[in-house]
């Protein structure tokens, strides 16, 4: 499980080196409570350590990156279905290059000091939407398989469940020219 230890060590090293400003790549929703747990708890702990450090800071909180879909490259190339663990949930995916541009602006200007920014893309997309867009770009089918994320946990971490994977064919209509 990730911890804030790496970020805290980085803050300590930055202070020792005379660094004045830190721009932290965090995650959207960090610190919010959901189903009895703290979302992004390790990000939140790191943010709090940075705030307490006395350094100038800016927190960038993107959701998932659009480029994360590249993890499925081999499956897509092989024509195999890619696992959808997100169901019908939607995210305003962001391009990491856009996050980098905001980080540069935060590092080179005092305008963003002491600010937290939730960075999002222009449109809410489901996993199926992402696959449909890729289908348009590649001009060939991109199959997905719905899976329950809890079913994918190692034994002993959740109640045994029946696998609920089924190939989807009910994709929303996507305008490939948009």
Fold of 1-61+96-119: Rossmann fold (3.40.50)
User: Which stretches of 64-164 are DSSP H helices?
Assistant: 73-78, 96-108, 127-138
Are 2 and 38 spatial neighbours (Cβ–Cβ below 8 Å)? no
For residues 69 and 77, what is the distance between their CA atoms, to the nearest angstrom? 13
Q: Which residues contact 135 (CB under 8 A, 6 or more apart)?
A: 141, 142, 171, 174
Residue 169 has what pLDDT?
Answer: 33
Distance CA 142, CA 177 (A): 18
CA gap 109, 103 in Å, rounded: 10
Total H helices, total E strands in the chain = 5, 8
pLDDT tens digits for the chain (178 residues)? 678 899 999 999 999 999 999 999 999 999 888 888 888 888 999 999 999 999 999 999 999 999 999 999 999 999 999 999 889 999 999 999 999 999 999 999 999 999 999 999 999 999 999 999 999 999 999 999 998 866 665 665 544 333 333 333 334 444 444 4
Residues of the chain within CATH 3.40.50.720 domain(s) are 1-61+96-119
- What contacts 44, CB < 8 A, 6 or more positions away? 30, 31, 38
Structure tokens at 8: 């805290």
Displacement of CA 131 from its chain's centroid (Å): 17
Coil, helix or strand at residue 17: coil
């Amino acid at each position: 499980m990730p911890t804030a230890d790496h970020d805290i060590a980085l803050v300590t090293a930055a202070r020792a080196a005379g660094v004045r400003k830190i721009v932290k790549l965090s995650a959207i929703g960090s610190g919010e409570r959901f189903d009895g747990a703290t979302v992004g708890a390790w990000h939140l702990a790191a943010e709090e350590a940075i705030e307490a450090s006395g350094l100038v800071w800016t927190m960038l909180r993107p959701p998932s990156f659009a480029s994360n879909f590249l993890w499925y490259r081999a499956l897509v190339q092989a024509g195999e279905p890619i696992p959808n663990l997100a169901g019908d949930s939607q995210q305003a995916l962001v391009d990491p290059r856009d996050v980098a541009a905001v980080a540069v602006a935060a590092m080179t200007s005092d305008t963003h000091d002491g600010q937290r920014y939730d960075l999002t893309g222009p449109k809410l997309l489901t996993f199926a939407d992402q696959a449909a867009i890729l289908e348009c770009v590649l001009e060939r089918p991109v199959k997905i398989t719905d899976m329950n994320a809890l079913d994918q946990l190692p034994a002993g971490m959740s109640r045994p469940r029946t696998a609920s994977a089924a190939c989807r064919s009910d994709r929303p209509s996507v305008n490939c020219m948009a």
